[in-house]
């Protein structure tokens, strides 16, 4: 391979490091009006009256908009392909506010000072209603969070908003109770994962202008330019053709920017006033008024026979959707395909959840997208089962592990695991961590004990049978290539990966290709960067477009040389005839093709979607030391082995793995969205919402095994999400091995570990 498997710097690395303008805020027009949002102080209330008279008298205030001023077109903020499975349960502004921080009014002013002066002068009368703050009491609560008559879903998802049910899903295969009676070992437990925040360095922001054709032009830090365009069109009731969405560089997303947090408000103001406007969220707004990972409380049962075969997996959750059903159904269901199929000797099983509306910040997309939450209880319970059986945790997993070519009772008929060196990855991780060479529990000194714990994970590569990607590659009049993609590089280097794949086919150096991304007026349709789709789905489209373009280029050279295509040799830069009598560079040919009656623009466009979503695989082994005096858990080492198919760029893949592991460590030990008794979020800033620093994560060791995924022309699978999935259960299992503390709620704080060590935890 010329480019695949080689390390290249990210295409934008030098510009970013040199401080050149790159992000949304770098391009804000100097005359843009500032938008500030008046937010609800109550978790659940009806607006009885709102008076903006005094606020409008503040010099510099251009407009104040309330629910009386906005279109009554319900929409979803979820960045998903149409028809979205998320309910249309939102308006730009509404008479009902459903969480502390919900939008009440938009203040538009010439500067921030004027907007902030006006904000306290807006007089609002509320009818405060009893909030729904516990997901376990949400169903049939006296307060119905969504009682509007125009609530709409594109297709049934088990919703019943009159009972506060946002969606529900249950899939049962076989006779669970009968099979459990045949099992020699049964483990039953409950686990809870907290809501966590994506915490991108760049908060949510967008600005909007009117272009020379009278169209809305939105520049935004988003993962989903085409979905944003559709949402704005629906919310404003205007054609999508009147909207252009551009994404510059993103300062992190992790799924949070798969939700249109600011863009619709921004577009409404500019469309209404016909003036540029900008909205930038503070850190408090980013933490409070967007989306988080869904909190879930799980009940799980595992059954196994004495020969170590897991026969039953029964998992059920109650899920906190928050105030809107943004991504509720898809995160609820996504975890099934990415968890229980790990163990394919199961003959009876269940996976399901009721996802309920509460008066909390809405849940949404976060790296791992349902799989992270599902693998936490599953992999914790599998290790608990191994302890009950008196067998090695790795050996039990290996005996039950799915392999390439096999199926699962949770799969659709005919569906198989298409690729994977899962057993090889497991053995490599055991070697890296010296799993078989040392105890999994040991005394470090009088105060500290050490422990090793293991967890496995699957994920997916794109959304099967739904999301597609299109890529266009052109040859310019200078003989250089430009690749156009609607995917969004969020810092993971996807533009670099697409360039490597295309240049591998064309044969040219990577320096010969530019990449243009995420401008709905310029690039072909792409749903955006989510669901671990870019390398697998968009990369395949790039490979197809490059293949077609190469054929066209060779044909053009053959025409110019007056010979057949089989007599042309092309290296991506220049071509020659096989006998060596003719030679010409693409740089010299390109301008010749763009003049005269026989002009030809050399270009190719390819679209591709997959009927499958091949899972990457990961083994994570955590090594911790536990302070027996306080319960504090200190990560010392994390060993990971990932099978993501063919590796395109080793450095970028390694960085993806390390970043995901760190985020998982944060979820396991530190990060926790907390609410007060009145529904106000107490973790609105980084002083209270604790992210791990470099000192909190220990040493991370990453290895790879490379299977070959046959549905991809270069054998790739995804990497972006699977890497977050093992941290929490592996650390849980390491803590259990170290001190016997079975902490079943995240994060595993020192208090919880200490009480579990002293058998006080279960009485909490």
Q: In 3-state terms, what secondary structure has residue 502?
A: helix
CATH number at residue 653: 3.30.365.10
Domain assignment present for 121: yes
Please tell me whether residues 115 and 235 are part of one structural domain. yes
- For residue 665, the model assigns a pLDDT of 98
Side by side, the strands of the sheet bearing 633-643 are 441-443, 448-458, 617-627, 633-643, 699-704
Rounded-to-integer distance, Cα 265 and Cα 281, Å: 12
Whether the CB-CB separation of 313 and 381 falls below 8 Å is answered with no
Q: Give residue for tokens 């510099």.
A: 60
Q: What is the pLDDT of residues 91-116, one digit of tens each?
A: 999 999 999 999 999 999 999 999 99
From 386, 712, 687, 747, select the one nearest 534 (Cα to Cα): 712
Structural domain including 579 reads: 468-609
- For residue 615, the model assigns a pLDDT of 97
Rounded-to-integer distance, Cα 319 and Cα 331, Å: 10
Please tell me whether residues 418 and 544 are part of one structural domain. no
Please tell me whether residues 455 and 499 are part of one structural domain. no
Q: What is the pLDDT of residues 326-383, one digit of tens each?
A: 999 999 999 999 999 999 999 999 999 999 999 999 999 999 999 999 999 999 999 9
- Picking from 228, 245, 280, the residue at the C-terminal end of a domain is 280
Strands 603-609 vs 216-220: parallel, antiparallel or unpaired? unpaired
Domain assignment present for 700: yes
- For residue 648, the model assigns a pLDDT of 98
Within 10 Å of residue 688's Cβ, how many Cβ atoms?
12
Whether the CB-CB separation of 340 and 408 falls below 8 Å is answered with yes
From 144, 165, 50, select the one nearest 98 (Cα to Cα): 144
Q: What is the DSSP string of 546-600?
A: HHHHHHHHHHHHHHHHTS-GGGEEE-SSEEEETTSS-EEEHHHHHHHTTSSTT--
- The number of folded domains in the chain is 3
Q: What is the pLDDT of residues 376-403, one digit of tens each?
A: 999 999 999 999 999 999 999 999 999 9
* pLDDT value at 538 more than 90: yes
Whether the CB-CB separation of 379 and 456 falls below 8 Å is answered with yes
Domain assignment present for 663: yes
- For residue 764, the model assigns a pLDDT of 39
Q: At what angle do helices 371-389 and 328-337 cross, to 10 degrees?
A: 40
First to last CA, the chain: 58
Rounded-to-integer distance, Cα 723 and Cα 684, Å: 27
- Picking from 574, 609, 644, the residue at the C-terminal end of a domain is 609
Domain assignment present for 7: no
Model's pTM, two decimal places? Answer: 0.97
Residue-averaged pLDDT of the chain? 96
For residue 352, give Cα distances in angstroms to 158, 324, 378, 541, 599.
Answer: 11, 20, 13, 34, 59
Q: What is the pLDDT of residues 689-714, one digit of tens each?
A: 999 999 999 999 999 999 999 999 99
Please tell me whether residues 604 and 660 are part of one structural domain. no
Rounded-to-integer distance, Cα 499 and Cα 44, Å: 49
Domain assignment present for 150: no
- For residue 17, the model assigns a pLDDT of 87
């Amino acid at each position: 391979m010329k480019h695949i498997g080689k390390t290249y710097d990210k295409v934008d690395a030098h510009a970013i490091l040199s401080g050149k303008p790159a992000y949304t805020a770098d391009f804000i027009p100097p005359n843009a009006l500032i938008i500030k949002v008046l937010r609800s102080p109550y978790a659940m209330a009806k607006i009885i009256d709102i008076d903006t008279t005094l606020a409008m008298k503040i010099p510099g205030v251009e407009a104040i908009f309330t629910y009386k001023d906005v279109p009554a077109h319900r929409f979803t903020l979820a960045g998903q392909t149409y028809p979205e499975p998320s309910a249309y349960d939102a308006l730009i502004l509404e008479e009902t506010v459903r969480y502390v921080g919900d939008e009440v009014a938009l203040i538009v002013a010439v500067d921030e000072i004027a907007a902030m002066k006006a904000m306290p002068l807006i007089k609002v009368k509320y009818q405060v209603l009893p909030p729904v703050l516990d997901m376990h009491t949400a169903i049939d609560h006296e307060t119905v969070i969504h009682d509007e008559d125009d609530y709409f879903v594109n297709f049934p998802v088990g919703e019943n908003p009159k009972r506060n049910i946002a969606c529900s899903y249950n899939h049962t295969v076989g006779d669970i109770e009968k099979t459990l009676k045949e099992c020699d070992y049964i483990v039953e437990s409950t686990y809870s994962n907290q809501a966590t925040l994506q915490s991108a360095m760049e908060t949510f922001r967008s600005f909007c202008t009117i272009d020379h054709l009278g169209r809305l032009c939105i520049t935004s830090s988003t993962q989903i330019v085409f979905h944003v365009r559709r949402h704005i069109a629906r919310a404003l009731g205007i054609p999508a053709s009147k909207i252009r969405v551009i994404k510059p560089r993103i300062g992190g997303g992790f799924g949070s920017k798969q939700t249109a947090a600011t863009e619709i408000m921004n577009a409404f103001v500019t469309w209404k006033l016909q003036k540029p406007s900008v909205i930038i969220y503070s850190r408090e707004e980013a933490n409070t008024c967007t989306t988080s990972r869904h909190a879930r409380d799980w009940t799980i049962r595992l059954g196994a026979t004495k020969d170590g075969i897991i026969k039953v997996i029964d998992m059920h959750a109650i899920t906190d959707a928050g105030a809107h059903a943004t991504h509720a159904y898809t995160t609820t269901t996504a975890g099934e395909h990415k968890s229980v199929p790990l163990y394919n000797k199961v003959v009876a099983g269940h996976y399901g959840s009721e996802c309920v509306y509460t008066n909390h910040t809405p849940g949404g997309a976060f790296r791992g997208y349902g799989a992270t939450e599902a693998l936490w209880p599953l992999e914790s319970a599998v290790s608990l089962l191994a302890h009950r059986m008196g067998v090695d945790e790795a050996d039990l997993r290996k005996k039950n592990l799915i392999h390439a070519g096999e199926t699962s009772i949770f799969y659709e008929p005919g569906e198989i695991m298409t690729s994977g060196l899962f057993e090889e990855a497991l053995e490599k991780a055991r070697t890296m961590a010296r799993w078989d060479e040392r105890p999994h529990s040991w005394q470090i000194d009088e105060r500290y004990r050490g422990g090793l714990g293991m967890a496995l994970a699957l994920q997916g590569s794109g959304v099967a049978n739904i999301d597609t990607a299109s890529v266009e590659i052109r040859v310019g009049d200078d003989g250089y290539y430009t690749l156009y993609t609607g995917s969004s590089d969020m810092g993971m280097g996807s533009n670099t990966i697409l360039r490597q794949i295309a240049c591998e086919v064309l044969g040219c150096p990577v320096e010969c290709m530019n990449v243009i991304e995420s401008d709905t007026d310029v690039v072909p349709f792409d749903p955006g960067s989510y669901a671990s789709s870019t390398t697998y789905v968009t990369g395949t489209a790039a490979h197809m477009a490059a293949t077609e373009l190469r054929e066209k280029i060779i044909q053009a050279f053959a025409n110019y040389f007056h010979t057949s295509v089989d007599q042309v040799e092309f290296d991506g830069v220049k071509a020659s005839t096989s006998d060596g009598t003719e030679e010409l560079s693409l740089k010299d040919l390109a301008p010749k093709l763009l003049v005269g009656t026989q002009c030809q623009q050399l270009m190719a466009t390819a679209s591709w979607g997959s009927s499958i979503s091949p899972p990457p695989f990961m083994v994570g082994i955590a090594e911790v030391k536990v302070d027996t005096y306080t319960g504090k858990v200190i990560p010392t080492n994390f060993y990971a082995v990932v099978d993501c198919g063919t590796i395109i760029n080793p450095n970028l893949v390694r960085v993806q793995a390390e970043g995901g592991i760190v985020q998982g460590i944060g979820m396991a030990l530190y990060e926790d969205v907390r609410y007060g008794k009145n529904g106000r979020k107490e973790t609105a800033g980084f002083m209270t919402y604790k992210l791990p620093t470099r000192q909190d994560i220990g040493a991370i060791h990453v290895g790879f095994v490379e299977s070959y995924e046959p549905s991809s022309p270069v054998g790739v699978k995804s990497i972006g999400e699977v890497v977050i999935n093992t941290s929490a259960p592996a650390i849980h299992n390491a803590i259990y091995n170290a001190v016997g503390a079975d902490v079943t709620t995240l994060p595993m704080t020192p208090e919880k570990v200490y009480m579990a060590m002293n058998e006080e935890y279960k009485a909490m």
